[in-house]
Structure 1
Amino acid sequence: MRSANPPGGPGDPSAAPAGAELALDGVRLGHHVGGAVPGTVGLHIAPGELLAVVGPSGCGKTTLLRTLAGLLPPLEGRVTQDGEPVRRPGADRAVVFQDDALLPWRSVRGNVELPLAIRRVHRSERRRRAQEWLERVGLGGHAHKLPHQLSGGQRQRVQLARALAGRPRAVLMDEPFGALDAHTRAGMQDLLVEILRGTGATVVFVTHDVDEALHLGDRVVLFGSGDVLDVPHPRAREARDAPATAALRRRVLDSL
């Protein structure tokens, strides 16, 4: 997922932090009031890896992401980042939701700047970084628009720019392209691959779409069974019908 980028840009490897190492050890997911996800989870996510998570509705995929983000404590077990317990949200773990979650009264640039403003990044620096990321996601000319003036795909681009502008070490993505049409979804997948190059970020990507998981992931977690499978040709669309990819697709579909 890494390649050269223009020096000084948002994907400049010299400016990018190393990806976070995330781990769950004997973790029981769930809510004290709403109940627990069956079984326990043991999972290691390597720095810089893109891990795709698939599974049937209601199996706990979103709960997994919320727990990794520090938004929801585990009922049992230990969640760590670089060996340290995850107890609360952190600025180096960004979350991207299916709902774009943009603030409707803030401009596109204002939305991208928001996490930087919360961290008290100087105004000139956060504007520079926001504009760089908007250019990179193809929305440089839309900075002054409001979210309602954009298409669904454009709003997801803004959300992606907002998440990455803060140079997170981990990006947790909960079906971010699930509401998009097939053409726009494929474009967003390609954009994600392109803009993650050089960031160094570790990515956990939840999806219902098996082909999306096999295109994006270095590995795929079959959530529920606990199987973790290597993807033979990650991020290579031309390998969609390769025998190894086709066999893995059948195995994932059978698990669902």
Structure 2
Amino acid sequence: MSSALTRLAPAPTGAELALEDVRLGHADGTTVLTAAELRIAPGELLAVVGPSGCGKSTLLRTLAGLLPALGGRVTQDGEPIGGPAADRALVFQHDALLPWRTVRANVELPLAIRRVPRAERRRSAAEWLDRVGLAEHARKLPHQLSGGQRQRVQLARALAGRPRAVLMDEPFGALDAHTRAEMQDLLVDILRGTGATVVFVTHDVDEALHLGDRVALLPSGRVLDVPHPRQRDARREPATAELRRRILASL
């Protein structure tokens, strides 16, 4: 690991996110989730699973401030979420990189929007590209990278702005099994020490059990503790196997 990493700024405190008697849905008034109650602790990684159409992506967009709740309260640190904010980053399944910008320029983008000085943007982008193993690809365009590499760029871009909450919508869903496992391990490694609160939507139960401190089941809203989060061999443990069975049964 490069010595440049030692210059990373101190980790921010993770945000507390909460839903109180919330009704979630679309702008046309269509409801997808009712009476939602959820509290996500600062620094926690909450995995969210559920069948298609149950409101997983709607939940993320509401927490991001992109979609207002149809009822109830959605808060960050006790204050209502009224719109997007720089300290909440959203990571999509498709990388959403700007094809005309280099890898480095894509990572710099959220900092440029916030008018961070150029030298500081360059330093931060270089550090995060180093962390995701793409330092030598900084001058390339997105089409010159593999799918896994593009997701690494998206992750670097999301974290370069030092968000207090990272909202991830099936970010590894389009990757092959080997690359997906690599990205899961990379995420675990990178999040260590960031202080960020993470809400990670996935349809993969094993991914949820590997990454999550807890797993939220939609549409019921039930939240279950994970016995051994972020340990690959934990799937063989009886407690983890039983939790996996319960989650699959709920789906």
SS in 2 for 1:224: coil
SS in 2 for 1:79: strand
SS in 2 for 1:240: helix
Q: Verify: 1:212 aligned to 2:204, yes or no.
A: no
TM-score (norm: length of structure 1) = 0.95
What's the C-alpha RMSD, in Å, of the aligned pairs? 1.1
What residue identity is the alignment partner of 1:86? I
Q: Cα distance, 1:31 vs. partner?
A: 1.5
Partner Cα distance (1:145, 1:33) in 2: 41
Residue 98 of structure 1 corresponds to 93
Partner Cα distance (1:204, 1:166) in 2: 17
- Residues 38 and 163 of structure 1, relative CA distance in 2, 3 Å threshold: closer
Partner Cα distance (2:46, 2:228) in 1: 14
Contact 2:44 2:198 in 1 (8 A): yes
Q: Give 2:155's match in structure 1, choosing from 152, 160, 163.
A: 160
Q: Verify: 1:107 aligned to 2:106, yes or no.
A: no
Residue 28 of structure 2 corresponds to 33
Q: Give 2:178's match in structure 1, choosing from 172, 176, 183.
A: 183
Deviations 1:192-239 (A, max 9, x none): 000001000000000000000000000000011111000000000111
Q: Cα distance, 1:21 vs. partner?
A: 0.3
Q: Verify: 1:69 aligned to 2:64, yes or no.
A: yes
TM-score (norm: length of structure 2) = 0.97
Residue 146 of structure 1 corresponds to 141
Q: Cα distance, 1:34 vs. partner?
A: 5.6
Partner Cα distance (2:63, 2:107) in 1: 23
Q: Verify: 1:203 aligned to 2:202, yes or no.
A: no
- Residues 34 and 78 of structure 1, relative CA distance in 2, 3 Å threshold: closer
Q: Tell me, which stretches of 5 or more residues in structure 1 are unaligned? A: none
Q: Cα distance, 1:40 vs. partner?
A: 1.8
Partner Cα distance (1:120, 1:38) in 2: 37
Residue 187 of structure 2 corresponds to 192
Q: How many residues align?
A: 248
SS in 1 for 2:6: coil
Partner Cα distance (2:229, 2:61) in 1: 25
Residue 8 of structure 1 corresponds to 7
Partner Cα distance (1:120, 1:250) in 2: 49
SS in 2 for 1:121: coil
Q: Tell me, which stretches of 5 or more residues in structure 2 are unaligned? A: none
Q: How does 1:236-251 map to 2 (within 5 A)?
A: 236-251=231-246
What residue identity is the alignment partner of 1:27? V
Contact 2:19 2:72 in 1 (8 A): yes
What residue identity is the alignment partner of 2:60? L
Residue 123 of structure 2 corresponds to 128
Partner Cα distance (1:6, 1:208) in 2: 33
Contact 2:5 2:131 in 1 (8 A): no
